[in-house]
Structure 1
Amino acid sequence: MSVPELKTRHAAATQTVNALREQLKQKRELLLDSDVATYATAQGKTPVSYGPTDLVCCRILQGHTGKVHSLDWTPERSRIVSASQDGRLIVWNALTSQKTHAIKLPCAWVMTCAFSPTGQSVACGGLDSVCSIFNLNSPAEKDGNLPVSRTLSGHKGYVSCCQYVPDEDTHLITGSGDQTCILWDITTGLRTSVFGGEFQSGHSADVLSVSISASSSRMFVSGSCDATARLWDTRVASRAVRTFYGHQGDVNAVKFFPDGNRFGTGSDDGTCRLFDIRTGHQLQVYYQPHGENDAPHVTSIAFSISGRLLFAGYTNGDCYIWDTLLAKVVLNLRNLHNSHEGRISCLGLSTDGSALCTGSWDTNLKIWAFGGHRRVI
């Protein structure tokens, strides 16, 4: 068969696939006769209300000299680790704002960081395509820096995200620009499973985010530049359990809902979405109307303990708190005193839900606490 004939057949096949996708999209829309907000409104649910003094910036963590890219809390909520374009990991005491560790990294272009469940180790990755593990209890080297205790090598592209398996310091999942996720055995430094890549059910573009279910640690979801999120079971690496469509841009952030049956996403299309892992249906879209072609991208998301609130950071400096039931904005941190002066690049909620930490391209991290009689829901 000649090359022109192959090209013709390929074009025809592509057209058929696109037509089938459109039919599938239309059938999904027919099934989605309602969303969470419509149902909640019909049930007479009242919106959550917070005033500008109910959430206050109680700590400003200053020390980075470059854009902050990633942060993570320890389970005991007293420490935060952050990664910055200045090539350093800093471990902070969230109660006093003091630095306990300032680790100079082998590769300055770091993109992600994570605390281990015990808080004894931190992991990071970036453009060097490896995930580096640091034991915070290790003695410092002569120059005062902390040595790398384990290097996880195997990705063929940058490491965009990492997360420890809950309740384990020995296993970690990474996502990469090579379109795969990897489950690692940190003890041996070896890959336990590879998700995607050569498998047809894997992502077709860079993986940007992962989230492991707290209720079932063998399940995790990934978000990608292919505008999809995919659910994986660590016991079956050969195929994704389910693929979730709906976004029109890169999926920059994914986060499991507290009950483990749903998860949220944040995308370059300016929307956050809520999906059900059991049905594969999209339950809700969270979107603030903007002028044409200028909707800010969503960079990071987190849920409150109950799931009633969704925290979302945006490239224009907005940080919305959404009422997940009624799809309404409760508060915008950008309008509060001591707000960030640049893009919100990362955010995370403490384990007990009492404080929110945001990181920004303005080089600072800020800890927000619910003041007075108000508590996060």
Structure 2
Amino acid sequence: MLALRGYGSGSDAGSGSGSGSESDGEKESGGSSEVAVAVPLHLLPRPSSTSSVAAALAVAVCAAPPVLPQDNRSEPRVVNPALKELQHNPTYDELYAPIVGPENPFQSQHSKASKNMLSGFVEKAHISEFQFENQRRTFTSYGHALDPTADDDADPSSIVGISSTIAPPEEKKTVFESSKQRPLDKRKRKKNNNPEDIEGFLGPWGGYVDEKRIMKPSGEEAEALEEIVAKRQKRGKIQDEKPLEEKSILHISDSVDYQGRTFLCPPQDVGVNLKSDTPPDRCFLPKSHIHTWKGHTKGISTVKWFPRSAHLLISGSMDCRVKIWEVYKERRCIRTYYGHRQAVRDVNFNNAGKLFISAGYDRYIKLWDTETGDCISHFTSRKIPYCAKFHPDDDKQHLIVAGTSDKKIICWDTRNGEIVQEYDRHLGAVNSITFVDENRRFVTTSDDKSLRVWEWDTPVDMKYIADPTMHSMPFVTSSPNGKWLACQSMDNKVVVFSALNRFKMNRKKTFTGHMVAGYACGLDYSPDMSYLISGDADGKCYVWDWKTTKLYKKWKAHDGVCISALWHPHEPSKVVTAGWDGLIKYWD
């Protein structure tokens, strides 16, 4: 098939081919129109020469084959009934076609039914919020309301709650329509709105005239309540656990040496002046593991140095025990203290080291004599103490403060066992207590992701620090010079606050690289404040440079969580770490 091109002017093929060489402008100016005619090849006249064949092929045009539109498909597209949105516009047959796939022969008629909730299919219905609240209040106040199951064709006055034959039309009104007073509205209130009457002024707090307020049960009622409580305790519903009988075991043969000195006296022949008040001139990074203390059967919660000399180490563990260890010479376990039913959370010495307190998950704080192992007294607020310590001033060593799980900081007097002050402003469990500003103030952190600063013995916080970017900070330690607070943050960072007047966060000092989310891993400064050391959830120990915040060193210290890391205050390169594997390790 060939398509021959000609012109409407009536010229023959030869003239058409000649005129085809003219420009388009000449064609349009000549007024002729182009016509394409498809002629079969066998109807064309046989050319006499090669030139005539070339002339005949010159006017041939290849015709494009017919192409169907892309959307015209012979097979219908399957629509998934679980889809919420379609990417194409389906036809009616496609939209209402049966679901593709074999039918489950084991399904019952109930399971085949369409459901949008576990109990069946619920159709959405709309009711005005005002009408719903109006009927609810009417039913609460008068005991009747419109029947919600009635159809539109039914009697609109059909009600539920009271019989329509008994109730007169006046009582069928709603709270919005009715003008009668409800029974409680008839009660008269005590009124005294005179502001000049200071003692008798009631304002909006005046109660009802016939109201009886019993703030405390009378003698007979109190006895009856005591009997009920006693019966419940016998049944085991309320367990008023008494503190466990306290005891201690001395693990060394002699409690005193040949000069009559107890283990509380620091040794003098260890090559280090343990009574010095000046820190080492320069500290160095520890390089090797030199000793391991074993004795706890479960993970360790906290370790602390003996005050000033640091020749002893005290540890509290999840095996409910507290142990004291030698740091020098034979490095023995000196004494074990038993007195908690549940894991020990925190331990702290007083300034002299002769007493220490232990806080446990059994809700008791116990005061111990370090040398004899006797439990002097115990304190409880019926809540779990997360941290507990003595007041650092020498004239206030009889006061201990504890942060508890009921959002309070409680101060006890150890002389009489009474609570002398409560600081109740936090919105979550209190995690840490740190004294600053020469012990005139203290800083607390909590699970409410805030930091509060308190004046001592003033139960209102003087400063509240909270930011949307802050996380809870379960461990806080003060720098040796008292100017900075290093806080272990739950977003795997160590953030630093100023411990002076403003308590502003130092944005330039943020230490990262470790994983502590979910754990209260301990922090400590080197004595010369050149390094900051921290534990890690993976059992590693991290050391950063304090000035540049650069991570200098990390090493695998424990198999479990490295919960505590302490730098010896008199040694330039000795560090103690404690972990949940029950071990205490010494590094140099």
Q: TM-score, with normalisation over the residues of structure 2?
A: 0.48
For 2:284 and 2:325, the matched residues in 1 are separated by 28
Alpha-carbon displacement from aligned partner over 1:26-82 (angstroms, at most 9, x marks no partner): xxxxxxxxxxxxxxxxxxxxxx9966xx43332211100001001111121111110
For 2:407 and 2:294, the matched residues in 1 are separated by 34
Residue in 2 aligned with 1:39? none
The alignment partner of 1:123 has SS state of: strand
Residue in 2 aligned with 1:92? 325
The alignment partner of 1:129 has SS state of: coil
Tell me whether 233-242 or 171-180 shows the greater mean CA deviation.
Answer: 233-242
For 1:134 and 1:190, the matched residues in 2 are separated by 17
Tell me whether 107-116 or 294-303 shows the greater mean CA deviation.
Answer: 294-303
For 1:351 and 1:244, the matched residues in 2 are separated by 33
Q: 2:289 aligns with which of 57, 60, 70?
A: 57
Whether 2:375 is the aligned partner of 1:148: answer yes
Whether 2:441 is the aligned partner of 1:219: answer yes
Amino acid at match of 1:65: T
Amino acid at match of 1:287: T
Residue in 1 aligned with 2:54? none
Q: What is the CA distance between 1:115 and its match in structure 2?
A: 1.7
Q: Calculate the aligned-residue CA RMSD, in Å.
A: 2.6
Alignment map for 1:187-202 (pairs within 5 Å): 187-195=415-423, 197=424, 202=425
Q: Which has the higher strand share?
A: 1
Q: What is the CA distance between 1:286 and its match in structure 2?
A: 1.1
Residue in 1 aligned with 2:170? none
Whether 2:586 is the aligned partner of 1:367: answer yes
For 1:49 and 1:62, the matched residues in 2 are separated by 27
Contact 1:311 1:322 in 2 (8 A): yes
Residue in 2 aligned with 1:344? 562
Amino acid at match of 1:368: W
**Shift in alpha-carbon separation, 1:225–1:133, aligned structure 2, 3 A:** same
Contact 2:321 2:340 in 1 (8 A): no
For 1:298 and 1:318, the matched residues in 2 are separated by 14
Alpha-carbon displacement from aligned partner over 1:215-262 (angstroms, at most 9, x marks no partner): 612322222111222222213222243425476433110111222232
Q: What is the CA distance between 1:353 and its match in structure 2?
A: 5.2
Residue in 1 aligned with 2:553? 331
Residue in 2 aligned with 1:66? 298
For 2:469 and 2:580, the matched residues in 1 are separated by 25
Tell me whether 242-251 or 230-239 shows the greater mean CA deviation.
Answer: 242-251
Q: What is the CA distance between 1:289 and its match in structure 2?
A: 7.7
Residue in 2 aligned with 1:275? 497
Whether 2:519 is the aligned partner of 1:286: answer no
Whether 2:347 is the aligned partner of 1:124: answer no
The alignment partner of 2:375 has SS state of: coil
Contact 1:269 1:297 in 2 (8 A): no
Unaligned runs of 5+ in 1: 5-47, 139-145, 370-377
Unaligned runs of 5+ in 2: 1-129, 134-281
Contact 1:72 1:80 in 2 (8 A): yes
Q: What is the CA distance between 1:206 and its match in structure 2?
A: 0.8
- Higher Cα Rg: structure 1 or 2? 2
For 2:545 and 2:445, the matched residues in 1 are separated by 23
Contact 1:315 1:344 in 2 (8 A): yes
For 1:101 and 1:113, the matched residues in 2 are separated by 15
Alignment map for 1:155-170 (pairs within 5 Å): 156-166=382-392, 168=394, 169-170=397-398
**Shift in alpha-carbon separation, 1:126–1:71, aligned structure 2, 3 A:** same
Amino acid at match of 1:265: C
**Shift in alpha-carbon separation, 1:82–1:209, aligned structure 2, 3 A:** same
For 1:225 and 1:174, the matched residues in 2 are separated by 15
Amino acid at match of 2:576: C
**Shift in alpha-carbon separation, 1:184–1:306, aligned structure 2, 3 A:** farther
Tell me whether 217-226 or 79-88 shows the greater mean CA deviation.
Answer: 217-226
Residue in 2 aligned with 1:209? 432
**Shift in alpha-carbon separation, 1:217–1:99, aligned structure 2, 3 A:** same
**Shift in alpha-carbon separation, 1:148–1:50, aligned structure 2, 3 A:** closer
Q: What is the CA distance between 1:349 and its match in structure 2?
A: 3.1
Whether 2:460 is the aligned partner of 1:238: answer yes
Q: What is the CA distance between 1:319 and its match in structure 2?
A: 1.5
Residue in 2 aligned with 1:114? 348
Contact 1:81 1:92 in 2 (8 A): yes
Residue in 2 aligned with 1:37? none
Q: What is the CA distance between 1:360 and its match in structure 2?
A: 0.3
